[in-house]
Structure 1
């Protein structure tokens, strides 16, 4: 891969959190004042990518997320549906 490649990162942030029992995206890392899991994932991608796309269906609850938020065009189809939505974006 050449050093001047422009990459986009995709974060699939949907799901029902059935096994986890709570919204994983809002899990605080490193204590109550740490970043949310979703915000941290976006932050890790930003230095590596020219654009970060987050696939989720509740954009209004993430107004300060520094990424392009796109809806899951295939809700209920799992991670593959989210990935397709991110790639289409």
Structure 2
């Protein structure tokens, strides 16, 4: 069985949200902790990219902060390559709720993402040099990266996934919500 590194992409500035959305709570649990709880049983090791969080290993975005989620993924791919993992299962901090079967849905030999929530994906570590070149060219688009990497998309239309970009994205869906 392949060794998979879980990577929480959490380096954003939450400009549209107005405060640190990773710390917003749903049912008394911070968004970042929802991601930790969902990914932990699905991966062999877990890291957080772009910020520090509790006792998790933290990686700075690569090559620099402020380059979007691909910089976090790039850091994770290089870490996974050096530490003997076969691939990275990535999830951003602002998707709720995360499916508990992402590894089964996505992991395998080739890169795969969810169709609508494409920052959730599986990335073989062999893609690390390609992502370095992609970012060095000035590209930042996840969709462009998906095309460049040859990733296939898994239909996620039946999943009840919500992208949390603003406080109003929280309120219609959950009754116990708190922003930092």
TM-score greater than 0.5 by the shorter chain: yes
The alignment status of 1:71 with 2:71, answered yes or no, reads no
Q: CA deviation at 1:83?
A: 1.1
- Deviation >4 Å, runs of 4+: none
Aligned residues: 78
Give the root-mean-square deviation of aligned CA atoms.
Answer: 1.4
TM-score with structure 2 length normalisation? 0.40
5+ residue gaps in structure 2?
80-180
Partner of residue 5, structure 1: 2
Is 1:53 the counterpart of 2:43? The answer is: no
Q: Distance in 1 between matches of 2:6 and 2:37?
A: 11
CA distance in 1, matches of 2:5, 2:58: 13
Considering fraction of residues, name the structure with more strand.
Answer: 2
1:23 corresponds to which of 20, 23, 34: 20
Q: Secondary structure at the match of 2:36?
A: helix
CA distance in 2, matches of 1:38, 1:54: 9
Counterpart of 2:30 in structure 1 is 36
Provide TM-score, normalisation by structure 1: 0.77
Q: Structure 1: where are the runs of 5+ without partners?
A: none
Max radius of gyration: which structure? 2
> 2:4 touches 2:43 (CA, 8 Å); kept in 1?
yes
C-alpha displacement of 1:5:
2.5
1:36-64 CA deviation, whole Å, 9 max, x = no partner?
1111101111101010111023x2xx3x3
